[in-house]
Structures are given as structure tokens and as C-alpha cells.
Amino acid sequence: MVFSCPFPDTVRRHIWDTGTRLNLDGYDGVEFIYSTDAPAAFSGITIYLRSGGGWFAASLPVGDGTIRHWVARADFTQQEHPEGWDKISGLRISPWSAARGSGAIRLHAITPRQAAVALARPGEQSSPQPQERNFGIQAADWLGHQFDRMGVPYAMLSDADITDSDIPERYRALILPYHPNISAPALRRLQNFAGGGGKLYIAYNANRELAELMGVQTGTFLPGQAHEYHAMGFVPKPEWRGPMQVFQGIPPNLLTIKPAGRDTKVLAWWLDDRGRRQDQAACLQSPRGAWFSHILSTDDDAAQRRMLAALLDESVPGLFADAARHLLHDIDTELKSMTPAADTGAAHDELRQLQTRARELLDGQRPDEAWDAAELLQKAIARHALAEIDNSGMQGIWVGTEMLTGNLGTMADGLARAGFSDIFLQATREAESPGAFTAIAAQHRINIHLWYICWNLDGMPADELDRLQTAGRLQQSAEGGTTHWLCPTQRANQMLELQRLMKLASQPEIAGIHLDYIRYPDAQHCFCPSCRKAFEEETDQRIEAWPATVLTGPSSERFLEWRAQQITDFVAEFSRQARLHHPNLKLSAAVFPLYPACRLEQGQDWGRWLADSLLDFVCPMNYTSNTGEFSAWFRAQTELPGARGRVIPGIGAASDHSRLSPSAIVKQILAANNIDNTGFVIYKLTHGLNRVLLPAMHNARRHQIADDD
């Protein structure tokens, strides 16, 4: 089926309905195979399956080439009370525009499938505490994303799926990314599953009966130590197809583990930031599966995918080869989408030779060597694509505190060789800046912008949060719940943040201060007593029905204006003080991409901040894997009053919303250069980017310099 989609200025989406009969009962999800002739015209596709009087809905990404996208049944949303999966009677496809233009979508196939791999997403039973439960949900969703990237179908199971009935035998691997509480019924189901030949993959769990089943002895809790628990180092074995190291990123908390069974072996040890083996095991392997001492990180995603493929191939034979084949398919698509200038002459010959070699190895039943060859091909694609970048604008990157371990001089040298001109370096909530790295970066002529997270108190010790909550200084939602953010209306909170920002501004050898989270969490904040009092005084009225009157009542528009003004007033005061005492500093902020929507939703009026010259520039977080959507956002941002030349787009290489390959990063850089050559800022430096992107940028820059000479 082919759907033509013209998008004039007045059309945001198209809708097509067609009849179809599907019985999806007993299947774990649906695979959609589709392609577009003009990916830049689309921001996304919503697909709906009609069931009775309701719908099951899911979002499909848009990109180059033919896309095979898996949607687990649990990841469909329900609209208007669908009857059931066995009563699918229709299909609705709704493409959304990214920019004015036209394109066509070709739907090749819709295939219900059963999965051999299952993920467990925690609910209230297995994770009663909301914060823990959300963390577990994120961990499960992250691994689902990883399986999507590998082309591996998976089921997403709820607590009830594990507790109330036997786990289906078709699942050969069941992963528990974070389930802090295993109930007695769930334990029996897991024992039966393992007894029937299924393998379990457990992360960060203290259940001793489950550990005994797996041949594991659990020990004590150890808090995260950045220098000690830096990476998983895998024990060299001829049969191990996975990576030799997987970096962790943010230091993990550990529950120590030791082999308790004769057949349980250490698969990986923890390595410190110098590569030295530590005393603690990171992963154990037994005939029943594997056990991790920690929650798996989102940092080193490519190496983690290979690790997962190698681990699960034991329980799902052929999974590793299928994942390698999917990787090569993605790389073939990257090659086809390269610019002609980057894929010509010697570059063309090198890339096609590497591509042919990887294919030959895969066809020759040598998937581990094929994966190695594919990784070499990815690096070569990145190197040649990067040669097309215009280096006249800012080349920036956000660097979090978790990366400031090991040899800082080596990291600074790598960033400088890669051509980065500016680093947005994370400071702590206590306004402590990594002075040692700042001095090293200055030696490499890299501009340092200290990156400060405003208002948001995530990670603050519980006793300090309790003190602030008791004092009434935290934000409240419309429902009355407390959120771990400082209320920006209260003078004590404003003074605290201003003092910390001015402390950072006084640091030597820095180029600027970069504000982050300079906003409210969402439209449901803040409605604390202090906000109520301040708004009533400002508007000279007494509001009886709070917060209903300012949410949807007669004062709602006035409240939204007032709310945004609180953030703007803070930015203005910071700007005034910083320019008075440190006139040479560049002031900037990370901001939401959709303006003016974010002014109403998050109270972030950054268009006004630019128009009033409160900041020197902003970095919209244009985090999307769709280059067309990225371009549309950036073009709209540069057209705001006073924005031209002062908007530097953020590229989501390793964000929650997008994970980009080096060649995808390059496509967005080139797209930005064609709109307004202000440069770019990459979010953010990870060990994976450090291993792949930075060397490619260095090599591309070296060739550019040689060509200029």
C-alpha cells in the first residue's frame, strides 16, 4: 500500500483507514515493514489497529531506506476501549509533517510475531516505591530500545504476566532489568520457567532464593565509585563473541555477587578507570542464565548490544547472527544516504571493500568476525562523512561529571584533536567545578562553559530533601504532590541559585555559564502556597478554588504569563549580575525545541530571552533521529526575532529521545550548516562516542588540514 502525503502549510497530518482482519491473540507484537521516499517531509507516523469501538495505537519512526520496526503488544496505547487483540478489524495510518513539502509512505508488510526473548517491566507489586518503579520501567524500556536496534522481537511482560500464570515456553530468555521485590508466586513461576529450560538474566537483585536457583551468592550493597567500577571487563574465552569491555558511565550501585554453584563462572569483572581488575564480579554466568551486580547502563550502547547478542545467543541460537545481519542492513542504509562528495574516489573504494568483506564473513557463517568488520566499516563511514563538515561555527559537546575519571589530559587531547572548540562541562549542585579539567582544556584552547542544572534536585541526599520539603521550598503539582525541584518563585531559592551561579562565574579560565533545567518540570507545576500567595498579590485578587481557577478557569491565561515571568525574571537577574562582575563571559541555556509551546508548558520563554539579550545564545535540545524534523525545528528557531546567529542546535547523539550513529550525527550537522552556520553542540560525551566518533572526527580533521596544505 502506498500513501501520498502532500503537506502544504495548513496540513499537519493525513489519515487513511482501511479494513483488515487480524487475530493477534497469542502473539507478542507486530512487525511493521515500510519505507518513505522523502523522510525529511515526515516527523513520524502513528499507526492504529481498530478493535471494536476502540483502537490500539503506536508510533513508528521515519528514516532512510526500508525500516523494520517492532512494536510489542505492551507498547501499544489504548484509545476508546478496544475490545481485544483477537478482534482487529481495521488499520489507520496517520503520517505527521516535519516541514512543508510532500512525500509518500509505502507499507510493505504487517506481520504478527511471537518472540523468544521477554523483558519484565516492573509494576506496583514488584516495585512498590514509585521512584524505584519508574527507574525499573526506564531500565526495561532501554533494553527494549536495544533489541529494536538489533532487530530482535521481544515481549514486554507485566507483574501479572509473571505472577498469575505460567510463563510461556516459547520464551527462551527472560530478562529482569530491575525487580527489587520478587513475590512468592512470581518466584515459583520463575523457578518453573528455569526448570523447563528457559534462561533468566537478572540485574541488581537481592532475592536469595532466586540467587540460589541461579547458582549465585549475593552479598552486600556497595555505593557507586566512579574510579573503581568504570567498566565491565570480560574474561577472555575462545567462545565469547561479545566485547571485551562495556563502559558503565554513571557509577553504578552494586549488590556484590559470587559463584555459589560448581557450574557458575565469572563472565566479567569490574575494571577501574585505569583498566585494572577489581575484586568484585560484574556478571556471573551459569547453566540457568546470567546475573549482573548492577543495573545496566545506557552509556556504551553499541558495545552493550553486542554483549546482549552474545549472551542471549546461548538461549536463542542464531540471535547473534541475526543481530549482525541487522547491523549490516543498517550500515548499508547509511552508505546509501551518504552525500556524493563523501562517497567518491578512494573513499568509495575503501567503503565498498569493507562492506563486501563484512558480507562475505556473515555469509560464511562467521558472524563474530562479520561484526568486527561492520564496526570497522562504521568508523570509516563516519571518517569520510565528517570530512564534509564546515568547521567555521561552534563545535561543542556536553560533558557530564561521570566522564571526568581516568586520565583527564588524554580526554582533553582527544576532544581537541577531534576539533571541538567548546565544552559544556557539568558542575555540581554545590557549584563545584572540575577545576583540574578546566585548566587542562584551557591548555588545548578549548572554551569551557560551566553547565549548571537549576532547580532540579535529583540525586540530593534524602535528609536534605526532607529539610527543604519541611520548609515548604519544593514545588507542588496540581494534585498537591511534592516534586524534587526548588520553587523558582521563592526568594530563598532564587538567592541560593544565584549565589551558586555567581560562584561558578568567578572560576578562572572559563568562557561562559550554561543554564540547564531553567524552567518548570511541566504544565502541572508549581502550585505551592508560595506561588498562590505571590500570584494573588500580583493580580490583586483572592482565589478560592486553587488551583482549578488558574488551571482551566478564568485566570488560567494570566497565570501562564505570570509563571513564565518568574523564570524570565530569574534569568534577567542572573544576566545583570554576571555581566556586571564578569562582562566577558558568554551566557547561554539549554532549552526545549518547540517555542512558544515550551513557554506555556514549561514556562520557558527563551525567545524573549534572546530578543531582550538576556543571553548570548541558546542551545535548543533538538533531540530526534529524524533529520527532517531536526531541520524543521532549527529553521523555525532561527526565524524568531533576534535569533539569527544566536541559536546553536543541540544534537541528541546519546539522549533519552534519540541515539545516533556517527553518520546520523553528521547528517544533522550538515543540515544545520545549510540553515544557519552557527555550529552544533552534541549531547553528550559517552564512552561509546569517545571510542568511535572522536577518532573519526580526528582523522577527518587531519585529512582536511592535509588537503588545505
CB proximity list for 63: less than 8 A, separation 6 or greater? 39, 333, 625, 626
Check whether 590 has a pLDDT greater than 60.
yes
Q: How far apart (Å, rounded) are the C-alpha atoms in residues 587 and 332? A: 42
Amino acid at 411: M
Question: What is the four-CA torsion angle of 274, 304, 232, 699, rounded to 10 degrees?
Answer: -20
In this structure, the dihedral spanned by the alpha carbons of residues 123, 129, 130 and 134, taken in order and rounded to 10 degrees, is -60
Q: What rounded mean pLDDT belongs to the chain?
A: 90
- What mean pLDDT comes out for the span 264-278? 92
Dihedral of CA atoms 217, 223, 225, 228 in degrees, nearest 10, equals: -20
| Mean local confidence (pLDDT), 536-564 | 91
**What are 485's strand-pairing partners?**
456
Q: Which of 52-56, 105-109, 684-688 has the lowest mean pLDDT?
A: 684-688
Q: What is the mean pLDDT of residues 31-47?
A: 88
Name the pairing type of β-strands 447-453 and 289-292: unpaired
Position 343 scores a pLDDT of 61
**Residues 221, 295: Cα–Cα separation, whole Å:** 13
Looking at the chain, the whole-number percentage of residues with pLDDT higher than 70 is 96
- Higher model confidence: residue 224 or residue 570? 570
How crowded is the C-beta side of 9, counted as CA atoms within 13 Å?
A: 0
All three cell numbers of 109, joined, read 508488510
- List the grid coordinates of 125: 507489586
φ, ψ for residue 315 (rounded to 5)? -95, -25
CA distance 121 to 137: 6
pLDDT in tens, 91-150: 999 998 876 678 899 999 999 999 999 999 999 988 888 888 988 999 999 999 999 999
Contact (Cβ atoms closer than 8 angstroms) between residue 19 and residue 78: no
Nearest to 166 by CA among 202, 140, 196: 196
Q: How many residues does the chain have?
A: 709
| CA dist 354 → 243, 336, 384 (Å) | 20, 15, 13
Which residue type sits at 289? G
State which of 372-386, 563-577, 633-647 shows the largest mean pLDDT: 563-577
> Which grid coordinates belong to 675?
540553515
pLDDT tens per residue, range 440-456: 888 889 999 999 999 99
Q: Which three cell numbers stand for residue 40?
A: 525529511
Evaluate if residue 181 carries a pLDDT over 50.
Answer: yes
Side-chain half-sphere exposure of 174, counting CA atoms within 13 A: 27
The CA-based angle 649-650-653, given to 5 degrees, is 140
* Separation between Cα atoms, residue 588 and residue 646, nearest integer Å: 10
Give tens-digit pLDDT for 599-628.
Answer: 999 999 999 999 999 999 999 999 998 887
* pLDDT above 90 coverage of the chain, percent: 62
For residue 552 the three cell numbers come to 482551566
Residue 706 is predicted with a pLDDT of 46
Task: Tell me the helices (H) and strands (E) count for the chain, helix number first.
Answer: 20, 30
- Amino acid in position 640: L
Kindly give, in sequence order, each residue whose CB lies less than 8 Å from that of residue 246, ignoring residues fewer than 6 positions away. 231, 232, 234, 268, 297, 300, 303, 304, 307
Facing residues of 94 across strands? 46
The larger pLDDT score, comparing residue 434 to residue 262, is at 262
Say what the pLDDT of residue 332 is.
87
Average pLDDT on 267-277 reads 91
User: Using CA of residue 458, residue 464, residue 465, residue 469, what is the dihedral sign?
Assistant: negative
pLDDT of residue 306: 96
Question: One-letter amino acid identity for 28?
Answer: D
236 or 337, greater pLDDT: 236
Tell me how far apart the terminal alpha carbons of the chain are, to the nearest angstrom.
Answer: 53
The phi and psi torsions of 341 (rounded to 5 degrees) equal: -65, -30
CA distances from 458 to 141, 223, 503, 545, 643 (A): 20, 17, 21, 31, 32
Neighbours of 471 (CB within 10 A): 10
Report whether pLDDT(76) > 90. yes
Mean pLDDT of 249-260: 88
Is the pLDDT confidence value at 705 over 50?
Answer: no
Which tens digits make up the pLDDT trace of 411-437?
A: 888 899 888 999 999 998 776 767 778
Q: What are the start-end ranges of the E strands in 214-312?
A: 216-222, 231-234, 245-247, 254-259, 265-271, 277-286, 289-292
CB atoms near residue 481 (< 10 Å): 11
Angstrom distance (rounded) from CA 234 to CA 222: 21
Q: What is the dihedral of CA 367, 369, 371, 374, to 10 degrees?
A: -130
